Amino acid sequence: MNYRKWMLSLLVLMLFLPLWSPGARAAAVQITIELDGEALVSDVPPYITTSNVTMVPISVISKGLNAGVVWNQNSKTVTITQGDTVLKLTSGQKNAWVNDASVALDTSVQIKQGRVMVPIRFVSENLGLQVLWDQVNKHISLFSNTEPPQSVDPETPTTPTTPTVPTVPTIPTIPGGSTSKEMKGAWISTVFNLDWPSVSSAGNEAKQKQEFDNLLDKLKAVGFNAVFVQVRPSADSLYPSALVPWSKVLTGTQGKNPGYDPLSYMVSAAHSRGMQFHAWFNPFRATTDASTSALASNHVAKAHPEWIVNADGKKYINPGIPEARQHIIDTVMEVVKGYDVDGVHLDDYFYPSNVTFADDAAYSTYNTKKLSKADWRRDNINEFVRQLGEQIHKVKPKASYGISPFGVWRNIKNDSTGSDTSAGVSAYDSMYADVRTWIKQGWIDYVAPQIYWSLSFSTARYDKLVDWWVKEVENTNVKLYIGLAGYKVGASDQKAEWQSGDQIINQLKYNEKYEEVAGSIMFRANDVVVRNPFGLSSLLTFYFKS
């Protein structure tokens, strides 16, 4: 009898051991939040609901995001105000109000232990912030005034190395060298209403036109001769399309007709000023977050959920499905056939970098060439790039077709023909973008690598990367434009070398060393002519016109 009691006690103890184990306690990782690299303090811990929505106390919104917050105890409604944007969320209701538009919610206001909690992603994105969720570390990164690239800056390796005296690249002083450069471009981001149109212009045709005119006038005054405008930010459009819904950046609601054709107006406005207009497409990004509640019924994530892969807090169109690739090509060709654009431009949204991408089923079904998973992914992107180029040039032979990949193709440690860099991400290995093949095969007219690092950043130095890309385009018909990080100048999270406009000017001067560098494209328009840190626009005006 005593033996049975002892065994019963032991079984009960074993049942409760997991609750007491250090591993169980460690699993409860607290969610942390930062805005533009600065930690946001939460007086009570954020938590995740059963529907996968991260909730934070309203103090994070008022103190961290500097938004006005009013809580009405009687109606259980929180009103959040920032600039011209007004959000209203009510406890128990499955929709919220964004200005005058009703938007469906997965989770609205909740009251926990006397605290008012709101969904951080919904609030942040409607206030114009980009939200990135790190599942492993339970960390939320919020970004203002910029769309972060697919991957963060490469980190400097921590492996001890023999100290060496860094060489300083020679900056040529060629009088009037800039005038020979064909391309002086600027990217105009529409996602999150970053550069155009403003959130406050939602549904206001006249205001949106005026804003675009003002932006072009400022860019032209500096000396820019081309704009690369994001016309398909999230599998949607800034033009009337038979295939994809209207973008929400125009009216605040995806699928809602803005009452005019923005793309037609923008092309005409650029050409009337003697500027080129290049239509910029995000190829495989379907959404900027994981929710589908605010998507139009004809958005690809709802119309073809079998094509969608959830990764890195976004939805992607699976490049491994031929029909999905053709769908994207068809959307691009709508613009090529319907508008007098000077070119088609793709950014680096192919496969997302360094995250799990669940495409085993597609690999099993469509891997007819019996390739490894990595080579199969690269082949999918190669086929997309090749087929799109063929169709563009067949319909509009004079249109320029180019791509802006991540600035590092491969590191020299992974490939003896790669660049003298040690980046943690590369276009070839992380995004499966075999840019070298595109260049050698002549599938594209130009390449515009995003070399968003300084002349002194040892992990991925600007000058070394320009040297490498110049060699890649030698003896080909592919032009080389350099993508420059105007958005880093004066940014609070950047080091001393970015705390003046000299970094950009010195990079442009370095480009003059090579005839192969046919110009540059600046990211982003507002960072140069609106934010204008340290008089960058004046420096560029002097440089471009010297």
Q: Please answer whether residues 5 and 13 qualify as being in contact, where contact means their C-beta atoms are separated by less than 8 angstroms.
A: no
**Please, what sign has the CA dihedral across residues 490, 494, 496, 502?**
negative
**CA–CA separation, 486 vs 501, rounded Å?**
9
pLDDT band of 352, cuts 50, 70, 90? very high
| % residues pLDDT > 70 (the chain) | 85
pLDDT band of 13, cuts 50, 70, 90? very low
**CA–CA separation, 397 vs 87, rounded Å?**
47
Short-list 363, 370, 348, 376, CA closest to 283: 348
Short-list 266, 285, 24, CA closest to 149: 285
Q: What is the mean pLDDT of residues 55-68?
A: 86
- Structural domains present in the chain: 32-144 (3.30.457.10), 183-545 (3.20.20.80)
pLDDT band of 490, cuts 50, 70, 90? very high
How confident is the model at residue 42, as a pLDDT? 80
Give the lowest-confidence range in 96-100, 339-343, 430-434: 96-100
Is the model's pLDDT at 180 over the cut of 70?
no
Q: What is the mean pLDDT of residues 190-211?
A: 96
The pair of three-digit structure tokens given for residue 303, joined into one six-digit string: 């119309």
**CA–CA separation, 391 vs 403, rounded Å?**
16
Task: Write the DSSP string, 34-47.
Answer: EETTEEEP-SS--E
More confident residue, 15 or 276: 276
**CA–CA separation, 183 vs 519, rounded Å?**
4
Angle CA 388–394–400, to nearest 5 = 65
Is the model's pLDDT at 503 over the cut of 90?
yes
**CA–CA separation, 502 vs 492, rounded Å?**
17
pLDDT band of 100, cuts 50, 70, 90? confident
Q: Determine the distance from the C-alpha atom of residue 142 to the mean position of all C-alpha atoms in its chain, rounded to a whole number.
A: 13
Is the model's pLDDT at 374 over the cut of 90?
yes
More confident residue, 150 or 458: 458
How confident is the model at residue 140, as a pLDDT? 81
How confident is the model at residue 289, as a pLDDT? 85
The average confidence (pLDDT) of the chain is: 87
How confident is the model at residue 11, as a pLDDT? 47
Query: Could you give the residue ranges of the DSSP H alpha helices within 54-199?
Result: 58-59, 120-126
**In sequence order, which residues have a C-beta less than 8 Å from that of residue 361 and are 6 or more positions away?**
none
Q: Count the alpha carbons within 13 Å of 33 in the hemisphere toward its beta carbon.
A: 26
- Return the H-helix or E-strand segment holding 382: helix 373-395
Is the model's pLDDT at 3 over the cut of 70?
no
Pairing between β-strand 139-143 and β-strand 32-35 as defined by DSSP bridges: parallel
Is the model's pLDDT at 66 over the cut of 70?
yes
How confident is the model at residue 163, as a pLDDT? 39
Is the model's pLDDT at 40 over the cut of 50?
yes
